[in-house]
């Protein structure tokens, strides 16, 4: 089972990205679940969403405490949340940032395997809005192919209707532009 924790801010689509990941996995014949962590969140406040993908039935219904993958939709969250908390030793940290992996490692002390993409820049160019949820799905799949990129197309089309093509283009572009670096010793 692969467990994913998504960090973002209210209104950025973290819950939606967890749902799209789960739907795509189910469409591939896998078992999956997605759910938010609700509290007193409001638009702009830090939020967390979770997803699980497995080849066998998932019985665990708790939040994800030891994720295999952590996705950071908004780089401003890095300075207020310990995004590496609970991340498995062989885990992957997927970050939306204009900074390079080396710069992120120096600034935050990250040692884990990382994937980085400037999803905000891509979203602004492709969507006209700084909403990075679908863009970061491309980065997640580039970092660790837990589902195929093509499996995300149908859920995005269903969810976003007439604007789906722009979201799909942003996702595919992020997949191409994501840089992945192994764990630092």
User: 161 CB contacts (<8 Å, ≥6 apart)?
Assistant: none
C-alpha distances (whole Å) from 32 to each of 13, 20, 92, 166, 183 are 18, 10, 19, 26, 27
Per-residue pLDDT, 43: 65
C-alpha distances (whole Å) from 132 to each of 88, 124, 184 are 25, 9, 27
Per-residue pLDDT, 184: 76
What's the whole-model pTM score?
A: 0.94
**Count: domains in the chain:** 1
- 113-117 vs 179-181, strand pairing mode: antiparallel
Q: Burial level of 26, CB count in 10 A (0-12/13-18/19+)?
A: middle
Q: Burial level of 113, CB count in 10 A (0-12/13-18/19+)?
A: buried
Asked whether the predicted pLDDT for residue 39 surpasses 70, the reply is no
Q: Which of 129, 116, 121 is nearest to 160 (CA)?
A: 129
Asked whether the predicted pLDDT for residue 3 surpasses 90, the reply is yes
Per-residue pLDDT, 179: 97
Asked whether the predicted pLDDT for residue 38 surpasses 70, the reply is no
pLDDT tens per residue, range 156-180? 999 999 999 999 999 999 999 999 9
Average pLDDT over every residue of 121-133:
95
Question: In this prediction, what percent of the chain has a pLDDT beyond 90?
Answer: 84
Average pLDDT over every residue of 142-149:
96
Per-residue pLDDT, 185: 66
> What is the rounded CA–CA span in Å between residue 108 and residue 163?
36
Range of the domain at 97: 2-181
Domain CATH for 99: 3.40.920.10
């Amino acid at each position: 089972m692969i467990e994913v924790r998504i960090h973002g801010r209210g209104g950025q689509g973290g819950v939606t990205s967890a749902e799209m990941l789960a739907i795509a996995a189910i469409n591939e014949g896998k078992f999956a679940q997605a759910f938010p962590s609700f509290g007193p969140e409001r638009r702009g406040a830090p939020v967390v969403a979770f997803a699980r993908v497995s080849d066998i039935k998932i019985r665990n219904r708790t939040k994800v405490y030891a994720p295999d993958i952590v996705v950071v939709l908004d780089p401003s969250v890095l300075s207020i949340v310990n995004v590496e908390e609970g991340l498995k030793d062989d885990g992957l940290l997927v970050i939306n940032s204009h900074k390079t992996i080396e710069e992120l490692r120096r600034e935050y002390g990250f040692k884990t395997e990382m994937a980085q993409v400037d999803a905000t820049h891509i979203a602004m160019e492709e969507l006209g809005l700084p909403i990075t949820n679908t863009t970061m799905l491309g980065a997640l799949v580039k970092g660790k192919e837990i589902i195929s990129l093509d499996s995300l197309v149908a859920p995005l089309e269903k969810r976003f209707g007439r604007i789906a093509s722009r979201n799909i283009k942003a996702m595919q572009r992020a997949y191409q532009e994501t840089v992945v670096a192994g764990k630092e010793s």
